[in-house]
Amino acid sequence: MNKEAITKLLQPKSIAVVGASAQPGKIGYTVISNLIKGGYKGKIYPINPTANEILSLPVYPSVSVVPESIDLAVVTVPVKFVSQVAEECGQKGIPALSVITSGFSEVGRRDLEDQLLEIAHRYGMCVLGPNIVGTLSNSDKINASFAPFLPFPGKATLITQSGALLIAMDAITYTRKVGFDKMISNGNMIDVDFADLITWLDQDENTSCVCLYIEGLKDGRKFIEACQKTKKPIIALKAGVSAHGVAAAASHTGSLAGAVKVYSAAFQQAGVVQATDLNNLFDRTLALSLLPPLKGDQLLVITNGGGVGVLATDAAERFGIPLKFAPEEVQVELKKHMPDYGSAKNPVDMTGMAGNDWYYESVKFAYTHPWTDGLAVLYCETAITNPVEIAQAVKRAIDDTGGIKDRPVLVSMVGGTRCEEAMQWLVENGIPAYGAPDEAMNAMAALREYYSIRQSLNDTNGVCAPGSSKTAREIIAKARADGRTALTEIEAKKVFAAYGLPVTAINLAKNEEEAIKFAKKTGFPIVMKVVSPDIIHKSDAGGVKVNIKDEAGVRSAYKAILKNCKAYKADADIRGIAVQEMAPLGTEVIVGSINDPTFGPTVMFGLGGIFVEVLKDVTFRVSPISKTQALQMVNEIRSVAILAGARGEAPRDRKALQDLICSYAGMIYDLRDEIAETDANPVLVYEEGKGLKVVDARIILKAKQ
Ligand code: ACO
C-alpha cells in the first residue's frame, strides 16, 4: 500500500460524500453535517442524483461533474450501487475510497467485495472498509464518519474492526479523558489493513501511540512485520478468543493451540503490548500515549495511605514489576517529608498527614533521583487535604524538574467526586491518573512490557538456520505418493533427524528375525511399537511394548503387538514393528507445531504428561524464532520450576531444550508448504549437560489439491 494513497485517505484536502442526503437521520446527511461541525477546512462535495443543496452546500449529481480534483470519496450509497460509484470515482481519478456501506462479506457477499477491489485496483485507488463508520481526526478537524463528534483530543490513534465500538469508545474518551487524535474504522479490511495504517501512523506527528481493536487479521506476518518496524507503542485488544480450529486438530499441539495463544505469541513477537478488556485498553493507552517507557525495574511508590500502598505493592508484583526497597540515601531524603512514624522504604508512606508540600517535595526529589526508573504517586482522600491541590502539587513538582522526560510518572487517587475532579485535571495536564492503585500499576506494567518486548526485538541472537530439507522432502514425497498425509513414526523421525534433532534410534522390522537383528544392533533394553498409518494412538491399541531385555522378549512382544492391533482394528494396514532404542527416563516435555491460518508455522513448547493434558501449560511462537526467543519459551511456562530442578532434583538441560526448540522452529518454517501439524512428544530432557532425546514423533502433512 503506498503512503500517498493513505495520506489522501486520512488527510484529504477535498472530500466527496457519495450518497449525501438532505434528509436528517440518514448516514449520508450525518457525514456532511459531521464534516461541517468538526470544522473541516477542505472542500466538501455532496453527491446526490436529485438534491440541489445539502446544509447550504451545492450538490453534484455525480463525482464526474465536480470541477476540481477530489482526494477522498466517502461512500454512503446502498450496497447495490457501490460498484458503479467506485467505477465513477476511478474514472474521476479519486485516489481513496472510504466505504461506509454494509452488506458485503459480513452477510456472505464476498463476491461484491471482490468486484469492488477489482475496480479499485484497476484505477489504483485504495479502499478503507467496507462496512465501516469512517475516519476521524482531531489534528485535521475531519469527522468523515457517522460517529457523533471528534474524540477527546490527545495523541493516541485507534484502529478498530468494529465500527460500533469506535462510536462507543469515541464517547468514552470524554468520560475517561483519554485523548485520541484519530479514530479509524477498518471494517471488512478488503484493502487497507492494520499493517498499512500502522506503517502510515508511524510517521504521523500527531500520533504517539497506536491502539488496536482486532477481531481477526488476514495476513498475520505482514502485521508482525509492520509492528516490528514501528517506533511507536502499539497496544492491542484481541476479541474472539474461542479456540478456533481445535476440533479439526490431529496432533496434540493442534488441540492446544487456540486463537488466543497464537495471537498472544504473535503480539509479543511483533512488539505489541496487549490489553485484557476495554477498560484495560483505555488504562494502558492513556499511559502509553502520554509517558515514556519504564526502562528499569526500580519503581518508587509514594502514598499517604498504607492500605493503598499495600494494594499497589501486590498489584506491582502481580503485573511483573515487583517493588524493591529504596536505597538508604533516598530514604534519608524522603524521611524529611513525613512524620517519624512514616516509612521511606518503598512504598514510601508519608501517612495521612501528608499535605501539598510533602507531596511536592517528595515527588520533586524522587522523580529526578537516578535510582528511580518510574514513579507512582498514590493518594487516599482525607478531610484535611484537597485532592485537586494535591494533584496540582504533583504536577508542579514534575514541572519544576523540567517536565516528564525519560521516565514515567502516574497517579492513583482513591476517593469520591473530589478525586475524580483532581484526576481529570491531571490527565488534561498530561499526567495519567487512575481510580484504583492496581489500575495504575497495570498501566505502569504496560510501559515496562513495551520496553522489554521492544528490547527483545533488537535481539541479535540469530534465527536457527534450518538443516538440509532434501532428505525430508524425499520422505514426504514418498508418503504423498502412497496417498498418505500422516507420516509413520520412522519417517517423522528421519525428517526430524534431517534437521539435526536428536531422535531415538529406530528401525522397521518386517518379521521377528529382523526385529531381533535390529534389537541387537541398537542394544537392549529396547522398545517395540506398531507402524501403521491406520493406528495413530499406538498405546491405546496395545501397539507399544517397553523395556524388552532379550531375544525372547522381542519374539513375544512382536506377536503380542500384532495380535493387539488386529483386535483394535482388524483391517489396519500394518507396515511392521519399529524397534527403538529405549531412552533412559528423563523429564517429559512436548515440542510441536501447527500451521496457523493467520500466522503460518507456529511452534509450541510445554511440559509433557499431565502438564500438557490437564494444565495445558504450553507456550507458542510464530516461526522462525531466535535462540533468545526459544529460551524465553522455556522460561515462561508456569511449571518452569520443574525444569530448574524442583524438590532436590538436578536442573534439566535447558540449553539443549533451547537448541531443540530453535531448530524445530526452523524445520517447520522450512517445510511450511508441506507440513500441517507436528509433535515431538515426549521429548525426554536429562540433567544439565546430558542433553535430551525425542522419543516419539508425529508429522501430519497439509492436504494438497
Ligand atoms: N450516487 C449518489 N447518490 C446516490 C446514488 C448514487 N449512485 N444512489 C443513491 N444515492 C443516494 C440516494 O438517493 C439517497 O439520497 P436521498 O436521501 O436524497 O434519497 C442516498 O444516496 C442514500 O441512499 P438510501 O437509499 O436512502 O440509503 P440509506 O441512506 O437508507 O442507506 C447506507 C445507505 C447507509 C449506505 C446503508 O445501505 C448501509 O449500508 N447502512 C449500514 C452502514 C453501517 O452500519 N456501516 C457499518 C458501520 S459498523 C456499525 O456497526 C456501526
- Whether 19 is in the pocket of ligand 1, judged by its Cβ within 6 Å, is yes
Task: Read off the amino acid at residue 352.
Answer: G
pLDDT at position 646 is 76
189 CA from centroid of ligand 1 (Å):
20
8 Å CB contact between 482 and 325: no
C-alpha cell, 250:
490431529
pLDDT at position 248 is 46
8 Å CB contact between 148 and 170: yes
Q: Give the pTM.
A: 0.91
78 CA from centroid of ligand 1 (Å):
5
Tell me the longest C-alpha to C-alpha distance in the chain. 99
Ligand 1 atom at minimal distance to the Cα of residue 79: 37
C-alpha cell, 497:
533427524
Dump pLDDT digits (tens) for 508-551. 999 999 999 999 999 999 999 998 878 878 888 999 999 999 99
- Whether 398 is in the pocket of ligand 1, judged by its Cβ within 6 Å, is no
Residue nearest to atom 30 of ligand 1 (CA): 26
Kind plus residue range of the DSSP H or E element containing 46: strand 43-47
16 CA from centroid of ligand 1 (Å):
14
Q: How many CB atoms are located within 10 Å of the residue 319 CB? A: 17
- Whether 77 is in the pocket of ligand 1, judged by its Cβ within 6 Å, is yes
43 CA from centroid of ligand 1 (Å):
21
8 Å CB contact between 486 and 250: yes
- Whether 27 is in the pocket of ligand 1, judged by its Cβ within 6 Å, is yes
8 Å CB contact between 436 and 412: yes
d(CA 645, CA 194): 44
pLDDT at position 59 is 98
Ligand 1 atom at minimal distance to the Cα of residue 85: 7
Task: Read off the amino acid at residue 166.
Answer: L
Report the candidate in 256, 277, 253, 273 with the shortest Cα–Cα distance to residue 264.
Answer: 273
pLDDT at position 247 is 44
- Whether 128 is in the pocket of ligand 1, judged by its Cβ within 6 Å, is no
- Whether 163 is in the pocket of ligand 1, judged by its Cβ within 6 Å, is yes
pLDDT at position 404 is 95
Ligand 1 atom at minimal distance to the Cα of residue 187: 48
54 CA from centroid of ligand 1 (Å):
15
What is the three-state SS of 618-632?
Answer: EEEEECCCEHHHHHH
Q: Could you state, in chain order, the average pLDDT of each consecutive group of 10 residues for the chain (705 residues)? A: 91 98 97 98 97 96 97 98 98 98 94 97 97 98 98 96 95 93 96 97 97 93 96 93 49 59 92 95 97 97 94 96 95 91 90 89 96 97 92 97 95 95 94 96 98 83 72 95 90 94 94 95 94 84 94 96 94 93 92 93 89 80 92 91 83 94 95 95 94 94 85
Q: Which residue has the cell 499517604?
A: 304
157 CA from centroid of ligand 1 (Å):
27
pLDDT at position 243 is 54
Strands (E), 617-696: 618-622, 675-685, 692-694
C-alpha cell, 133:
463508520
Residue nearest to atom 29 of ligand 1 (CA): 26
Ligand 1 atom at minimal distance to the Cα of residue 84: 7
pLDDT at position 443 is 98
pLDDT at position 611 is 67
Q: Any residues with CB less than 8 A from the CB of 384 and at least 6 apart, and which?
A: 352, 353, 355
Task: Name the CA radius of gyration of the chain, rounded.
Answer: 31
Report the candidate in 418, 353, 363, 423 with the shortest Cα–Cα distance to residue 393.
Answer: 363
- Whether 102 is in the pocket of ligand 1, judged by its Cβ within 6 Å, is yes
- Whether 81 is in the pocket of ligand 1, judged by its Cβ within 6 Å, is yes
- Counting ligand 1 atoms within 8 A of each CB, the residue from 31, 48, 159 with the most, and so the one to mutate, is 48
Q: How many CB atoms are located within 10 Å of the residue 138 CB? A: 22
